Structure 1
Amino acid sequence: MTITTFTKTKNAYKRLEEETNLQGKILVKNGIKCEDTKKKGTQTDSLIINDLNRGRVAIFIDGVNLFHAALQLGIEIDYLKLLCHLTAGSRLLRAFFYTTIDVSRQTATRPRSNEKQQGFLFWMRRNGYRVFTKEVQSADNSKKPNLNVEIAVDMITLAPYYDTAILVSGDGDLAYAVNAVSSTGSRVELVSLRTMTSDNLIDVTDCFIDLDSIKQHIQKDSHPGYNYRAMSNSKL
């Protein structure tokens, strides 16, 4: 596959958070070491291809799509490992995580419908992710809940400020947004489970990484050093 690298002029007015080395922040806050892919003897489907100049990187994660992909793979995602692997030594602009929140009414069988999820999202916000949510009710099956519009708008709006976008989703509805981003000169890398990924989406990206090929790098260990606890006022 031929890979074309585009170089964009940096915006002089965007320097503060764009220049932040987020991986160093994670190391300090969590005591978890990010693997350096350059030191490994072999790399399987690494996002860095011969130390490709990816410039500033922005990550856009479709949380619902990733959750179902992880279920199919039979793994639980370690979101610190995921962030380190996707960044792979590049300069991270921001990492966005989009997901839905179940706001169904509490019942006798579900006295705390989303407390655990709220605890997870609180943990994500404290560990390098910008989280965006949409409220849905599980009882409403009239339409498939997603945040494609939000993902597309953010990808296009921020395109002048990053050089490489990493999209973690398999939804073909995002193909138009990917095309729009590519037209600005940005590189787009796609990370998803192949069996859940639209061919149309793969066709418009510069690089596709199958989650199945990197699952050993992003799954939780048997005895992780952290967990996603509920909020402090919860009994979970």
Structure 2
Amino acid sequence: MDRICIFIDGSNLYHGLRHNLGRTDINFYQFGQKLCNGRKLIRTYYYNVPLDREDNDEAYRGQQRFFDFLKSTPYIEIKLGRMVQRNGFKIEKGVDVHLAVDMLRFAYADIYDTAVLVSGDGDFASVVNAVKDLGKHVENVQFPSGWSAHLSECCDISTVLDEEYLEGCFMEYR
């Protein structure tokens, strides 16, 4: 059975959900099952940066609740980068490199057969090609806005993340 590792660019997913669907309450377990499509999920890796509590305490606390929720979801591991100050702006550092290194390292260690990359960042094209050179498959899911044709062309399969695809992948409130 095909072994799957899912690599999620958390910021890309969050902003894509908010911009394209107007909601961010994704059920990561259901989302992972949808991405696996009956194949064996080894693990989902979620990459992001922690917000600075001093900048916005409410946003920080909300993100911490979200991270706690993710930690309670089976087969998910959170990998965090850092925020740095540049020219008066805070920017994410280390997230893309961490994701790319993990994709390549796990491919080399034969942890998975297929990587599913959840991102529309064309900068991942190089790591996708390197992973494919190791004999692995790479699938990509990304939103229609921010679609990277370059990334899509590198991947074996590219899927549009839209409302239809994500049906059944949101939290159910009762």
TM bin (shorter chain): 0.7 to 0.9
Aligned-pair distance for 1:142? Answer: 5.9
TM-score by length of 1: 0.65
The counterpart of 2:100, out of the listed 149, 152, 158, is 152
Query: 1: distance between equivalents of 2:112 and 2:145?
Result: 29
Counterpart residue number, 1:132? 79
Number of equivalences: 167
- 1:67 equivalent to 2:10? Answer no
Unaligned runs of 5+ in 2: none
| 2:96 partner letter | N
Write the deviation string for residues 159-193 of structure 1: whole angstroms up to 9, x where unpaired.
02211000000001100000000011111100110
Query: 2: distance between equivalents of 1:200 and 1:165?
Result: 17
Query: 1: distance between equivalents of 2:154 and 2:77?
Result: 26
Residues 97 and 130, structure 1, Cα contact 8 Å, conserved in 2: yes
Residues 164 and 187, structure 1, Cα contact 8 Å, conserved in 2: yes
Residues 84 and 92, structure 2, Cα contact 8 Å, conserved in 1: no
Write the deviation string for residues 1-56 of structure 1: whole angstroms up to 9, x where unpaired.
xxxxxxxxxxxxxxxxxxxxxxxxxxxxxxxxxxxxxxxxxxxxxxxxxxxx6x11
Is the alpha carbon distance of 1:91 and 1:172 closer, same or farther for their aligned partners in structure 2, counting shifts above 3 Å? same
Write the deviation string for residues 132-177 of structure 1: whole angstroms up to 9, x where unpaired.
1123268952645561100100000000221100000000110000
Counterpart residue number, 2:168? 217
- From the two aligned structures, give the one with the greater strand fraction: 2
| 1:183 partner letter | D
Query: 1: distance between equivalents of 2:59 and 2:84?
Result: 10
Corresponding residue SS for 2:155: coil
Segments ≥4 residues shifted beyond 3 Å = 110-113, 137-140, 142-146
Residues 138 and 155, structure 2, Cα contact 8 Å, conserved in 1: yes
Query: 2: distance between equivalents of 1:163 and 1:69?
Result: 27
| 2:10 partner letter | G
Corresponding residue SS for 2:81: strand
The counterpart of 2:158, out of the listed 203, 208, 233, is 208
Is the alpha carbon distance of 1:116 and 1:85 closer, same or farther for their aligned partners in structure 2, counting shifts above 3 Å? same
The counterpart of 2:89, out of the listed 135, 138, 141, is 141
Query: 2: distance between equivalents of 1:179 and 1:135?
Result: 26
RMSD of aligned alpha carbons: 2.2
Question: Identity over aligned residues, as a percent?
Answer: 31
TM-score by length of 2: 0.86
Write the deviation string for residues 77-97 of structure 1: whole angstroms up to 9, x where unpaired.
222221221122211111100
Counterpart residue number, 2:126? 176
Query: 1: distance between equivalents of 2:84 and 2:60?
Result: 11
Q: Which has the larger radius of gyration?
A: 1
Counterpart residue number, 1:88? 37
